[in-house]
Every structure is written in structure tokens, then in C-alpha cells.
Amino acid sequence: MNSCDSSSSVNEKIFLRVAIVGNPNSGKTTLFNAMTGSNYKVANYPGVTVERKEGEVQLEGDWRLSVVDLPGIYSLFGHSPDEMVASSVISNGRKPGESIDAMVIVVDATNLERNLYLALQLIDMGVPIVVALTKIDLARKKGLKVYDELLSRQLGVPVIPVMARDGIGIEALVTEALHIGIEKRCSSKSFEWLKGQPALKEGADRVANVLNKGFIDESDKSRRMQALALISGLVKGENDQIQKIVLEEVDALKKKGIDPYTIEAQCRFEKIKEIKEHVSGLSSQGQSATANKIDSLLTHRFWGTLIFLVILGTMFQMIFFVAAYPMALIEMLMNRLAILVVAIVPPGALQSLLVDGVIAGVGSVVSFLPQIAILFFFIAILEDSGYMVRAAYLMDRVMSILGLQGRSFIPLLNSFACAVPGIMSARIIPSPAARITTILIAPLMSCSARLPVYTLLIAAFIPKHYVLPYVSLQGLVMLALYLLGVFVAAGVALILKWTVHRKENSYFVMEMPAYSRPSMKVVWREVRDRIKIFLNTAGRAILFCSILFWFMASYPKAPPDLSP
């Protein structure tokens, strides 16, 4: 990371890299999409952005601005894999080809206390920063007014209000990020919260003097940040000498009646409370009474579970019946295409390859796209509305029995679409035992590749009988097949809990985002991207297998004298 002490010639550098950093569910990835035009997953639950993504902003003149979207983090010293990915990008910012010239800190206007904690940490690091103040429309609905100019004075960095979905403030944000990256402008407010704690400051400086390297670079500010993390127990010393000095300072603070493990967080939050009193017109009172009533229903032990099962049942009924009409249309088009090829191409190996290999393979893939699109449509609606995290909270009661967390629900639900992204998204789970168990049972979920097989078997063996109005036996069997995978996965998780992971206990903490009306643009983009992924992965494999099976069935040909 290029610190404020760095010097470079503006005329020599025409390429800048900016990193977007923020808490989960703060609007970070939506902002990234608005800045770069890239189409990535956007949702209302923590940990969506697991891998680093990078896009480029088109600028006039010779300047090029590359934007890196980092995983959502609450602190610079997190321990979950996604937090470590973000910290790794920040800590490697000075390596050739990986230089980060500026940071865009995303701050949710509806929850300043939580978001400003990370912002203060990065300000203390002494790096060029611009704050993107998001969700200002939701803050207004709650009666909360955040004055961006006052917040800018308190933090000592530029603050740009943005509404990413509407494109408001994006141009100003990009311009400001470019300017601070060029000029290396940093805040003069670093470590202001530490002024009232001379004992902690002196202890941190003594530890900083023996550190070989800082968290981001070798500046005094970064070494002090790492020293504070060592004293707070957030990280461990690289060698026995450092750890010995840290323990000495910890003991010294304890003798003075100071808790070394909580004092930093307490001081930071006291400073954040002071900042909030200066910059906000009203105190945020959380969600409205209506939202709280909805939450009490959706997260209720009985009614919440019942509503969740009704939503799943409705989803599978829609997958089976609504998709039947476009599937029939696609099948008819494939049959007509095969007839056309037979009429144009002379009989022989080429005709057989095109009809029985290529068209049959493509048709088997394309014909199930409606079902897959409906599945992803429902998932995107649940994510973008804010319900998905409530479902995760609801399922935590069940997951804990299996040795898992509510966070495991999200990767397992993704595994219904495809096990690969489900396994990848398991990186958001901080507990190693719960993470490994989730990865092992994710393939047991019925992914979208099994949906065509289920559909064929149900159509062949289950009659079209309605148990209740609009509730068919075939749809119930489809739901039962999916639940079978869930029960098998639960059994495997229990076995792992009783054998491999008996000693580990974990706790589940997840922020409840505000309810929001799903954006059909975001939902459509999610469905489109998921379909592309299906066609590029499962589609290619099915087409290849179809052609391979045709070749194995056609060659070698039997000699003419052996023909019947």
C-alpha cells in the first residue's frame, strides 16, 4: 500500500489501483458494479464477495483507474478466510504490480458505529482514503440525517454521499479517488482516540520499536497499529522476543488497572460515538416497528420455520410446472432443427453426429434452462430482499445441532444450484470445524445438474395427480428428493460432530440487514450470470459427453459380414 510518505512523479504514472473496503452488507459490491460496470454477485447477506475482483474505470485523458473489490471485513485483524483475503491484498500493497494507491471506504449511513470502526483503523494506517457514504436513502426513511461535510472534518478525509443503484455520486467518488491517489492525501486525524490513553500509547510504541516490519509498510503508524493488535491479543508475535515484550506490556497495563484486551476497542467506540454525535441529526433507532414485527414472525421458532418450508415448497412447485411450457417449446425447436439438418445433410456419419450428438447434447442442456432460471430467480429475490440472512438465523438452531453454524446455510443453499460455488462460499465460515463439515456435505445437496434427471424420473414414474388445489404429487416428490439430500447431509454432519469435531464449539453472529425491495435489474443480472456459468460448466461437459457417447456407439463399426 502506498503510504502518504511515498513520492512519485505525476507525469510518470498513468495507472492507479484503488481498493474498495468495507463491512459486509454495506453496499460495497453494488458500488463496485456502479463504478466499473462489471456484473458480479450482489446480495443482502455477509460474505458474498469471497474472492478478489478487479475492474477498470474508463477515464478521460491518460489516466487509468483499476478498482479492486475486496471481501467484506469488520476489522483489519480478522481470522476468517475471506477477512484474511482482504488483509492479504492490503498487506501486499507495496509489492510490484500489486500497489494500492488509494482506498475507498464504504460506510453505511444507517449504521455509523459499526462501519466507522474499520474506517478509523485504515485512517490510523496513514493511507490515502476517501469515504463513500452509502444507503443514505434508507437513513432518511429512518429519520437519520448524516452530514457528510461534518463527517469529512471529523475524519480528515473526503466523504462522498452515493446511491450506487441510481448512479448518484459515482462520478464524484471516482474523481476524488483519482485525486487522493495522485496526491497521496491522508488524514491528519490518525490515532486521535489514543490521546487519552498515554499508558497504552507508550506500551504500543515500545512494542513497535522491536517490530521488523509493519502491517502494510514500514511507517511508524503501521508499526503502531500492529503493536496495538499484539497487545490486544488479535495477533501473535512473529518470534519469542516480540512475544516476550508484548507480555511485559500486557502485564504493565494490567497493573495500572487497564484491560489490555478490550481497551483499544473501547477507546475506538468512544471516539466513534463522539463523531456520530457531531455528524448525525438524529440517533438511529434501528428498524421500524413494522420491520421488527416482520422479523419476529420470520424468525419465530415455529411460524418462521413453517413460512420457510412454504417458500421452499412454492419454489419447487414453480420449478416443475411453470418451467414446463418453455421447456416444451425448446424441445419442439430442437426437434425441428434436427429435422432441418436431416433434410439438408446427406445420410451418413456427419448427419448422425449433428443430430444424435450435437443437437441432442445441446437440446438436453438448453431444455432445462427454464427450471434453472426459476431456481436462481427465487434465490436472487430472497437474497436481495434481505430474507436470506433471516433464514440463515432461523436455521442456526438446526445447524448448531449438527455442529454447524447459521452461516453454513448460505453455502449449502448455493449448493442446490451448484456444489462448486457452494464449497467456495464456505470460506465465509470462521469456525474451521464448521467450515470443513460444510464443504464435505455440500456435494450431497441436489444441485441443478441433477434437476434434469429428477424431472425425467418423476415424469416417467409419478402420475400427474393433484393432492390439493395447485399442489401436485409430482411437485411434492421433487421436494422430497431434495429433502432426501438434506437428511443424508445432516446424518453425515452428525457423524462428523460425534467423531472428528467433538471438542470444538462455535458461535454464530450475523447482522440483520434492513428489508429492501428487490431490484429486478440485480435479480435479472444474477439469473443471467448463473445461466452463463451453467452453460460454460455443466453445458460444455454434457455436450462433450453426448458427442463422446455418440462416437463410442458408432465406432468401431461392425464388419459387413457380421451385420445381422
- What pLDDT score was predicted for residue 448? 67
Q: Is 425 labeled as ligand-binding?
A: no
**338 vs 56, 139, 218, 358, CA distance in Å?**
44, 57, 68, 10
> Which band of pLDDT confidence, cut at 50, 70 and 90, is reported for residue 87?
confident
Torsion-angle region of 143 (φ positive above 0: left; ψ -120 to 50: alpha; else: beta)? left
**Is there a domain that residue 406 lies in?**
yes
Range of the domain at 346: 303-499
Higher pLDDT, 290 or 19: 19
Task: Kindly report the number of other CB atoms within 10 A of residue 299's CB atom.
Answer: 19
Q: What is the pLDDT of residues 20-76, one digit of tens each?
A: 998 887 888 788 888 887 545 444 334 444 455 777 787 766 777 888 888 888 888
Domain co-membership, 5 together with 128:
yes
Determine the residue type at 232: S
**Is there a domain that residue 368 lies in?**
yes
Domain co-membership, 348 together with 218:
no
The vertex-100 CA angle with 25 and 273, nearest 5°, equals: 45
Higher pLDDT, 434 or 1: 434
Q: What is the pLDDT of residues 190-237, one digit of tens each?
A: 888 888 888 888 888 888 887 754 343 445 677 788 888 888 887 776
Domain co-membership, 267 together with 310:
no
**Is there a domain that residue 288 lies in?**
no
- Which of 453, 476, 499 is at the close of a domain? 499
Q: Is 69 labeled as ligand-binding?
A: yes
Higher pLDDT, 214 or 256: 256
- What pLDDT score was predicted for residue 158? 93
Domain co-membership, 386 together with 320:
yes
**Is there a domain that residue 507 lies in?**
no
Domain co-membership, 7 together with 122:
yes
Determine the residue type at 110: T
Helices 369-385 and 520-534, packing angle to 10 deg: 140
Sheet holding 53-57, edge to edge: 53-57, 64-69, 15-22, 102-108, 129-134, 159-161
* Phi, psi angle pair for 538, to nearest 5°: -65, -35
Q: Is 47 labeled as ligand-binding?
A: yes
Assess whether pLDDT exceeds 50 at residue 10: no
Tell me what the mean pLDDT of segment 294-298 comes to.
Answer: 84
Q: Is 48 labeled as ligand-binding?
A: yes
Domain co-membership, 239 together with 316:
no
Q: Is 25 labeled as ligand-binding?
A: yes
Name the DSSP class of 550. H
Residue 507, classed as helix, strand or coil, is coil
Q: Is 50 labeled as ligand-binding?
A: yes
Q: Is 34 labeled as ligand-binding?
A: yes
> Which band of pLDDT confidence, cut at 50, 70 and 90, is reported for residue 154?
very high
Q: What is the pLDDT of residues 395-420, one digit of tens each?
A: 777 777 887 877 787 778 767 766 76
Q: Are 53 and 138 in contact (CB under 8 A)?
A: no
Residue identified by cell 455520486 is 169
Q: Is 23 labeled as ligand-binding?
A: yes
Domain co-membership, 231 together with 315:
no
- What pLDDT score was predicted for residue 91? 64
- Which of 499, 515, 534 is at the close of a domain? 499
- What pLDDT score was predicted for residue 504? 55
Q: Are 417 and 333 in contact (CB under 8 A)?
A: no
- What pLDDT score was predicted for residue 161? 93
Q: What is the pLDDT of residues 139-148, one digit of tens each?
A: 887 778 888 8
Question: Which helix (DSSP H) or strand (DSSP E) does residue 161 occupy?
Answer: strand 159-161
Q: What is the pLDDT of residues 310-369, one digit of tens each?
A: 887 787 777 767 777 888 888 888 889 989 988 898 888 888 888 888 888 888 778 778
Domain co-membership, 208 together with 265:
yes
Q: Is 36 labeled as ligand-binding?
A: yes
Most confident of 53-67, 264-278, 418-432, 465-479: 264-278
- Report the DSSP beta bridge partners of residue 68: 19, 54
Q: Report the percentage of the chain scoring pLDDT > 70.
A: 82
- Domain at 43, CATH number: 3.40.50.300
Rounded Cα gap, residues 213 and 87, in angstroms: 15
Q: Are 129 and 187 in contact (CB under 8 A)?
A: yes
Q: Are 323 and 370 in contact (CB under 8 A)?
A: yes
- What pLDDT score was predicted for residue 131? 94
Domain co-membership, 85 together with 145:
yes
- What pLDDT score was predicted for residue 130? 94
- Which of 462, 480, 499 is at the close of a domain? 499
Domain co-membership, 315 together with 400:
yes
Domain count, the chain: 2
Tell me what the mean pLDDT of segment 103-109 comes to.
Answer: 91
Question: Which helix (DSSP H) or strand (DSSP E) does residue 149 occupy?
Answer: helix 148-155
Q: Is 37 labeled as ligand-binding?
A: yes
3-state secondary structure 343-394: HHCCCCHHHHHHHHHHHHHHHHHHCCHHHHHHHHHHHHHHHHHCHHHHHHHH
Domain co-membership, 468 together with 409:
yes
Helices 473-499 and 303-321, packing angle to 10 deg: 130
Q: Is 347 labeled as ligand-binding?
A: no
Q: Is 438 labeled as ligand-binding?
A: no
Q: Is 491 labeled as ligand-binding?
A: no
**The overall pTM is greater than 0.75:** no
**Is there a domain that residue 533 lies in?**
no
Tell me what the mean pLDDT of segment 374-400 comes to.
Answer: 80
Q: Is 28 labeled as ligand-binding?
A: yes
**Is there a domain that residue 158 lies in?**
yes
Q: Is 29 labeled as ligand-binding?
A: yes
Residues with Cβ within 8 Å of 31's Cβ and at least 6 positions away in sequence, in order, are: 20, 104, 106, 132, 134, 162, 164, 170, 173
Tell me what the mean pLDDT of segment 3-11 comes to.
Answer: 49
Q: Is 361 labeled as ligand-binding?
A: no
**Is there a domain that residue 44 lies in?**
yes
- What pLDDT score was predicted for residue 424? 64
Tell me what the mean pLDDT of segment 436-447 comes to.
Answer: 86
Domain co-membership, 238 together with 334:
no
Q: Is 72 labeled as ligand-binding?
A: yes
**Is there a domain that residue 523 lies in?**
no
Of 35-44, 226-235, 253-262, 382-391, give the lowest mean pLDDT range.
Answer: 35-44
> Which band of pLDDT confidence, cut at 50, 70 and 90, is reported for residue 3?
low
Assess whether pLDDT exceeds 90 at residue 438: no
Q: What is the pLDDT of residues 522-559, one digit of tens each?
A: 788 778 877 877 777 767 777 788 888 888 888 877 66
